[in-house]
Amino acid sequence: MQAVWYERKGPAREVLQFGERPLPEPGPGEVRVRVHISAVNPSDTKQRGGARGNVTMPFPVVVPHQDGAGVIDAVGTGVDARRIGQRVWIYEATLGRPHGTCAQYTVVPAFKAVHLPDRADFEAGACMGIPVMTAHRCVMADGPVLGKTILVHGGAGAVGFYAVQVARMAGAARVVATVSREAQARQALAAGAHDVINYREEDVGARMREITGEAQSVDRVIEVAFGQNLPVNLPLMKPGGVIATYASDAVPEPTIPFWPMLAKDLTVRFVLVYAMSQAAHDDAAAFVTSALSGGELKHQYHECFAMQDCARAHEATESMSVVGKVLVKID
C-alpha cells in the first residue's frame, strides 16, 4: 500500500518519506479502514518535529496523523462483520500506535472508527477527531451553556471554529470570538459568532465591556493561549466562571494569580483530548453523529494536498497562517 512515514523526528521535508509499506491486518477488536482523506493537526506536526525535546521515536516507523475518514474493509475477531463497508471517521489513530491515517489503509480499535452519516463527505469526517472532540469538551465539560456568554479565543482556528458552533448549538446567549485578521473574522462569523474582536487592533477587555454592557460578563472562556490571555480573561470573568484551555504555547509556564482567581471562585479546565475519559470521547462522538446527520456543522478547508506533498501539508499547518483545515487526499 502507499503511505507516508518517518523513521526519525525532524523537519517535514527531511524526515517524511512516501512509498510502499506492508498492508496492516486488523487484530482482535480492531478494524481496517481504507482511508480516503487524512487530516493534519498541530499535534501531528509537533509529534513528528520532536516538540518540547521529545525526539525519541515511539516506534521504529510511524505513519503520521491521528484523524481521517474512509471505509472499513476488514475486521478482526470480536468485531461485527456487518461493519465491513461502513463509512467512518477515525480519531486518535496514532495514540500509542504506529499506524496513522496518512496511508491507503490503517488499523484502529473498532470504537475509534465512528459511523459517518451519509450526508457528510470524507473531508468533513476527517475534521471530526481532535478539533471537534476538544471543542466539545471545552464547551460542555462544566455543565450547560444555555443562556450564557462564551468567549472563544482563536475563533477561526481548528478548535475555536467548532467551539463557536458547539456553543451556539448548545444555546449560548452570546458567543464572542477573537481573531487576528479579517479573513479569520469572516470564518468566525460564518461559524455563528455573534461578535468578533480583532485582538491585534482592539482592546479585548474594552470591546467585551462595550458588547455586553457589563464589566464582568463572561461565563466561560475557550482558550488557545492560556498564559498569554489570562490577564485579559481574569477581569472579564463572572464569579464561578470557567476557563477551559487546550493550549498555552506562547507562555508554557504561566504565573497563576491565585488570590484574584480564588476571589471569583474560578475553575480552570485543562483539556487534552488524548487524556479524556472514554465517556467524554463517546459524548463528543454522539454530538458529532447528531450534528453531521442534521447537516448542522460547518467546515473550513485550506487545501487538500496529494500524499507525495505531505511535507507541504505539514509546513502549511506549522505556519499558523492558514485559515481552514489542512487535508491530505489518499489515492
**Boundary-marking domain end, from 236, 258, 274:** 274
**259 and 156, same domain (yes or no):** yes
Q: Decide: 126 and 69 in contact? Cβ < 8 Å.
A: yes
Measured at the CA of 114, the angle between CA 110 and CA 119, to 5 degrees, comes to 150
**Domain-located, residue 260:** yes
Same domain, 190 and 123: no
Q: Is residue 217 part of a domain?
A: yes
**DSSP conformational letter for 130:** I
How big is the chain, counted in residues?
Answer: 331
- What is the reported pLDDT for 323? 85
Enumerate residue ranges in the chain where pLDDT < 50. none
Q: What's 274's DSSP letter?
A: G
Domain that holds residue 66: 2-127+299-329
> Is there a domain that residue 282 lies in?
no
3-state secondary structure 246-261: CCECCCCCCCCCHHHH
> 3-state DSSP helix/strand/coil percent for the chain, to nearest 5?
35, 25, 35
Dihedral sign of CA atoms 105, 108, 112, 114 in order: positive
Q: pLDDT (tens digit, 9 = 90+) per residue, 137-183?
A: 999 999 999 999 999 999 999 999 999 999 999 999 999 999 999 99
CATH number for the domain harbouring residue 261: 3.40.50.720
* Beta strand segments in the chain, E: 2-5, 17-20, 30-40, 67-75, 87-90, 105-109, 113-115, 149-152, 174-179, 195-198, 218-223, 237-245, 267-270, 301-306, 325-329
Instruction: Give the per-residue pLDDT at 53.
Output: 85
8/93 same-domain check: yes
Task: Count structural domains, the chain.
Answer: 2
25 within 8 A of 32, measured Cβ to Cβ: yes
Is residue 287 assigned to a domain?
no
Do 237 and 191 belong to one domain? yes
On whether both 56 and 110 belong to a single domain, the answer is yes
Let me know if residue 315 belongs to a domain. Answer: yes
Same domain, 114 and 20: yes
Residue 288 within any structural domain of the chain: no
The DSSP H or E segment spanning 206 is helix 204-212
Contact (Cβ atoms closer than 8 angstroms) between residue 230 and residue 252 = no
Co-location of 69 and 188 in the same domain: no
Residue 30, all three cell numbers: 480492531
- Entry pTM: 0.96
Same-domain status, 87 and 157: no
Distance CA 88, CA 31 (A): 11
Q: What is the CATH number of the domain that holds 112?
A: 3.90.180.10
